[in-house]
Amino acid sequence: MPADPEHIPGRPKPSRAVEVRRSARRRRTVSAYREGDRTVVLIPARMSEAEEQRWVTVMLDKLQAQENRRMPGDGELADRAERLSAQYLDGRARPSSVRWVTNQNTRWGSCTPAEGTIRLSHRLKGMPEYVIDYVLIHELAHLLVPGHGPGFWDLVGAYPRTERARGYLEGVVAGESLPFIPRPAPTSPPAGGD
């Protein structure tokens, strides 16, 4: 079985693919960002493979730390749901619990009105706050209206960033369904030639 070319020895396998992009214009700086299910690390073209591996490790750790700081815990999520209910639903939606779950890979959130529970997919972690707020509003509205009829969408529509958040999530889903086409390796100029 071939080794995973994107796995750094001695480090747990990342849950996302890592794409390293080298740039001749980049002199010293290294940066990284999330792009769908991939992490893109931008490095100077002159870096050795050992430097590349070291910087990929540093940048993956840095991105994860940023996402962990930005990611609210279950308690903060419940507080956020309470604020959103008060602001957009006249405080009528009162969940008994709101928490993150890792077993929802095809839905962004779910609600069990009979129990008053709301669960948000871990896939939302790292997404903009307005997107998480939209999913919370969507699930809070289900505490008041179980289906997806006009009354439900009237409640959800009270959140001013509904359409923007829906567009963002639709883009994520569309991006996940596209095939990954690797970029061709950069060609090096001939050595020592005129």
Residue 185 resides in a domain: no
If asked whether residues 51 and 86 sit together in one domain, one would say no
The pLDDT score that the predictor gives to residue 134 is 97
Q: Where are the beta strands (DSSP E) in the chain?
A: 17-23, 31-35, 38-44, 97-101, 109-112, 117-121
Residue 138 resides in a domain: yes
Total domain count, the chain = 2
If asked whether residues 55 and 137 sit together in one domain, one would say no
Q: Which of 40, 120, 112 is nearest to 84 (CA)?
A: 120
If asked whether residues 47 and 110 sit together in one domain, one would say no
* pLDDT tens by residue, the chain, 194 residues: 334 444 444 444 445 789 999 988 888 889 888 877 788 999 999 999 999 999 999 988 888 777 666 667 788 899 999 999 999 999 999 999 999 998 888 899 999 999 999 999 988 987 889 999 999 999 999 999 989 999 999 999 999 999 999 999 999 888 877 776 555 555 555 555 44
User: Which position has the token pair 């009354």?
Assistant: 151
The pLDDT score that the predictor gives to residue 165 is 96
The pLDDT score that the predictor gives to residue 188 is 52
The pLDDT score that the predictor gives to residue 8 is 42
Q: What is the DSSP letter of 110?
A: E
If asked whether residues 29 and 88 sit together in one domain, one would say no
Residue 25 resides in a domain: yes
The pLDDT score that the predictor gives to residue 120 is 95
Domain around 56: 17-70
Evaluate the CA torsion angle 105, 106, 107, 108 in order and state its sign. Answer: positive
CATH (domain of 157): 3.30.2010.10
Residue 170 resides in a domain: yes
CA distance 64 to 67: 5
